[in-house]
């Protein structure tokens, strides 16, 4: 393969994925005929193994008409056919009958495990390795099992093999490592997994190309970024003297190359881009900047007419966003990575500051007859601020990771042997077991127990440990805004006299009245902290007369109240949906996924039963991967929906999920009262720790808890203390899940 033709690897890959010949000489019938319905020879053990007809295979072996070690004219055994079609029961029986686990055969001189590896059949691979199959054997093309699994893009099979005795940087006949193959394929998950397990980014093939060169050939910016972040030498040259950047220019992939480095905060030389401050001071600056800009925006709207104030205020808001994204974060995009910063938390903080300022300097002194309302607002304000702080600072419920490699290997082996090694039970990003109702957050880069959603407004995930604080924050925020608006209305009602409607814009009468009131108020000293009214009201005010009067009398307070009221548009919806979900014992994640994967009672990931019994048609050279992705709203509108928390109603089949939520079977449902108690006690009512909950008990949570209570009463113990360590429901040996129930599968997760 010439270095001047990087895409020449396609030919090699096609050979790597090519299926062996499917002609069966013994039966005189091709597999294609068998698949098309032609009656096979009842004595043909190869076709029976291919179909997974265990009864026929057993009858042939027990009658002596065939043996597990038989080979056809292409030197292929029945175990090969059973393995490539994921006929696990047949594979197991053949192995019990003495089938040679490492028999080589076919045009590629490959083993049964290599046939299974071409399609990523992790459970077949696990079975064969349990019978001492050797993953280091290479076929006629120089591919071992690790290479072939990488070709299949089956990340769980790759994970399993990485914990077997095989060198991660083993090379094929032309020097390609598994990382090079994954990088060329643009397989981000495989690249990340290989890097986490120590794959070398400095390895070179026979043409001197590194994994970074191959990532550039594919043009996948994420693969390029991850390999560079892992320490790849960006100045490494292949045998033709080309660096990865030179190859990107030649292949017209320089745009992806630059975006990859930009996303990683690097320049084209791989060096880190400079920032005005260090990370700690940058976060602090982003947190306080919105309070300063909100004051500027409110002041601008207060002192200028609306037709100049609104555009200028919009420009100031854009300026704030520009400083945060382009200067402090030093990114070229206005939306990427913003949610990883405390920007939106700063907006909430700044809003609280100016609402509190207006309340203390204006409303307290001028609405003395509303003592109870002031007390309620003060309590709501303090609770809102406190729970806002706690929602940010509390750990949301990070799930534990294996303490060492031995524990990790035991977990992987246990899941694979029970047919449950999939994205629902194991997190590729954390390389750890994933509890039920947990999800890996890509923003925070961790798995969170009973994950609800990642909230940019609290700069944190919302999970089992801080969900209560988040609910209290949003609930008191809504209540506080309502009370603030009520006090603002009372304030303007007390300082402004009743006035007739002015549909024709007769602002002169309003201005005269306002000036007289303001003069009288100032002379009597009734409002020492209230700014004086302007002498005139702009004739351009198109709002109703009372609102025009309010904007003229105290525009700063009016603008702050309007800004606070604007937040009700999304916070009220958020509160209503959250309270409904709590009553239903569901999370935002689960509701939004009901329409796609049927969380409650549906299938999640690829289980043993879902993978076995695949049939491969004749004449197929290799296999194809078909990916279908459906996304919700994108671009700027999608970004806005995301930060407002409204994307759950528009993304994917969220509407269908909401419709199904009221009828979906839910093993965690204890009724409205029980569900609320379980939420506020973080799992005490169900008797679980959500960051360690891996299975649903066969008898159900309620029955399990009642049985445990009875056992404790018999021992004279009290069920009051919190669980210590792993309780009955927390370990691996809790029993199998209820029939029909598996945890949710993520659309953007494995």
DSSP-derived letter for residue 303 is: H
Of the CA atoms within 13 Å of residue 279, those in its CB half-sphere come to: 4
First CA to last CA across the chain, in angstroms? Answer: 34
Strand, helix or coil for residue 29: strand
Within 10 A of 659 (CB to CB), how many other CB atoms are there? 13
Strand, helix or coil for residue 741: coil
Q: What is the DSSP string of 484-553?
A: HHHHHHHHHHHHS------TT--HHHHHHHHHHHHHHHHHHTS-TTSPPPPS---TT--S-HHHHHHHHH
Residue 405 phi/psi, 5-degree rounding, is -65, -35
Rounded to whole angstroms, how far apart are CA atoms 43 and 583?
A: 61
Q: What is the DSSP string of 305-351?
A: -HHHHHHHHHHHHHHHHHIIIIIIS--S-SSTTGGGTTHHHHHHHHH
Q: What is the DSSP string of 232-270?
A: --TT---TTS--HHHHHHHTT-HHHHHHHHHHTTB-TTS
Rounded to whole angstroms, how far apart are CA atoms 434 and 422?
A: 10
List CB contacts of 303: < 8 A, sequence separation 6 or more. 309, 555
Strand, helix or coil for residue 427: strand
**Residue in 427, 441, 455, 548 annotated catalytic:** 455
Rounded to whole angstroms, how far apart are CA atoms 443 and 336?
A: 11
Structure tokens at 418: 């029970």
Active-site residue 223, yes or no? no
Burial class (CB in 10 A: 0-12, 13-18, 19+), 24: buried
Rounded to whole angstroms, how far apart are CA atoms 486 and 572?
A: 17
- Report yes or no: 20 and 107 within 8 Å, Cβ to Cβ: yes
Query: Facing residues of 30 across strands?
Result: 23
Q: Which of 413, 440, 408 is CA-nearest to residue 424?
A: 440
Q: Which residue has the tokens 């199998």?
A: 736
Structure tokens at 441: 């957050």
Q: Residues with catalytic annotation?
A: 455
């Amino acid at each position: 393969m010439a270095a001047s033709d990087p895409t020449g690897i396609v030919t090699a890959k096609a050979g790597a994925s090519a299926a062996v010949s499917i002609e069966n000489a013994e039966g005189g019938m091709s597999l294609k005929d068998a698949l098309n319905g032609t009656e096979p020879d009842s004595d043909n053990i190869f076709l029976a193994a291919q179909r997974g007809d265990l009864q026929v295979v057993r009858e042939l072996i027990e009658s002596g008409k065939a043996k597990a070690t038989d080979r056809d004219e292409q030197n292929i055994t029945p175990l090969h056919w059973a393995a490539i079609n994921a006929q696990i029961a047949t594979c197991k029986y053949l192995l019990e009958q003495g089938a040679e686990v490492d028999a080589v055969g076919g045009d590629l001189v490959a083993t049964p495990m290599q046939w299974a590896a071409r399609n990523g059949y992790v459970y077949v691979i696990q079975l064969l390795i349990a019978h001492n199959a050797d993953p280091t054997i290479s076929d006629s093309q120089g591919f071992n099992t690790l290479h072939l699994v990488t070709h299949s893009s089956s990340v769980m099979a790759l994970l399993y093999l990485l914990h077997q005795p095989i060198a991660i940087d083993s090379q094929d006949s032309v020097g390609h490592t598994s990382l090079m193959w994954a990088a060329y394929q643009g397989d981000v998950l495989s690249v990340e997994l290989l890097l986490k397990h120590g794959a070398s980014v400095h390895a070179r093939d026979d043409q001197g190309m590194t994994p970074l060169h191959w990532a550039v050939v594919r043009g996948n910016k994420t693969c390029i970024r991850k390999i560079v972040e892992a320490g790849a030498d960006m100045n490494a040259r292949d045998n033709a003297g080309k660096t990865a950047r030179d190859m990107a220019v030649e292949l017209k992939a320089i745009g992806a190359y630059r975006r990859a480095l930009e996303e990683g905060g690097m320049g084209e030389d791989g060096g880190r881009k400079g920032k005005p401050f260090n990370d700690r001071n940058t976060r602090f600056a982003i947190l306080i900047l919105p309070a300063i800009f909100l004051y500027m925006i409110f002041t601008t709207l207060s002192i200028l007419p609306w037709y100049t104030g609104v555009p200028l205020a919009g420009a100031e808001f854009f300026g704030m966003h520009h400083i945060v994204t382009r200067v402090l974060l030093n990114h070229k995009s206005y939306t990427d990575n913003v949610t990883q910063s405390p920007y939106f938390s700063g907006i909430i903080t700044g809003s609280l500051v100016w609402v509190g300022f207006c309340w203390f300097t204006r409303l307290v002194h001028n609405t003395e007859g509303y003592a109870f309302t002031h007390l309620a607002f003060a309590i709501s304000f303090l609770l809102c601020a406190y729970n806002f702080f706690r929602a940010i600072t509390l750990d949301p419920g990070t799930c534990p990771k294996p303490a060492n490699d031995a524990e990790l290997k035991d977990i992987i082996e246990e899941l694979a042997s029970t047919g449950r090694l999939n994205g629902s039970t194991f997190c590729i990003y954390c390389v750890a077991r994933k509890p039920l109702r947990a999800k890996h957050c890509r923003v925070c880069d961790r798995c969170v127990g009973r994950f609800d959603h990642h909230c940019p407004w609290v700069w944190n995930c919302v999970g089992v440990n801080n969900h209560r604080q988040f609910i209290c924050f949003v609930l008191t925020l809504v209540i506080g805004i309502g009370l603030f608006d009520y006090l603002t209305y009372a304030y303007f009602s007390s300082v402004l006299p009743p006035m007739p409607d002015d549909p024709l814009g007769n602002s002169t009468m309003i201005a005269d009245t306002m000036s007289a009131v303001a003069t009288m108020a100032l002379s009597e000293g009734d409002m020492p902290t209230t700014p004086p009214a302007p002498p005139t009201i702009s004739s351009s005010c198109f709002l109703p007369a009372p609102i025009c009067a309010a904007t003229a009398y105290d525009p700063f307070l009016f603008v702050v109240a309007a800004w606070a009221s604007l937040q009700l548009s999304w916070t009220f919806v958020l509160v209503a949906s959250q309270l409904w979900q709590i009553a239903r014992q569901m999370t935002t994640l689960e509701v939004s996924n009901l329409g796609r994967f049927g969380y409650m009672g549906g299938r999640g990931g690829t289980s043993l039963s879902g993978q076995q019994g695949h049939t491969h048609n004749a004449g197929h050279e290799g296999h194809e991967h078909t990916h279908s992705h459906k996304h919700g709203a994108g671009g700027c509108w999608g970004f806005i929906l995301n930060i407002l928390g409204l994307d759950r109603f528009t993304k994917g089949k969220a509407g269908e999920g909401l419709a199904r939520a009221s009828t979906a079977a839910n093993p965690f449902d204890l009724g409205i009262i029980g569900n609320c108690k379980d939420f506020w006690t973080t799992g005490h009512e169900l008797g679980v720790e959500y960051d360690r909950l891996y299975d649903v008990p066969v008898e159900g949570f309620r029955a399990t808890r009642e049985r445990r209570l009875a056992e404790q009463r018999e021992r004279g113990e009290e069920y009051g203390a919190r669980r210590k360590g792993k309780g009955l429901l927390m370990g691996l040996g809790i029993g199998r899940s209820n029939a029909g129930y598996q945890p949710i599968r993520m659309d953007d997760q494995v």
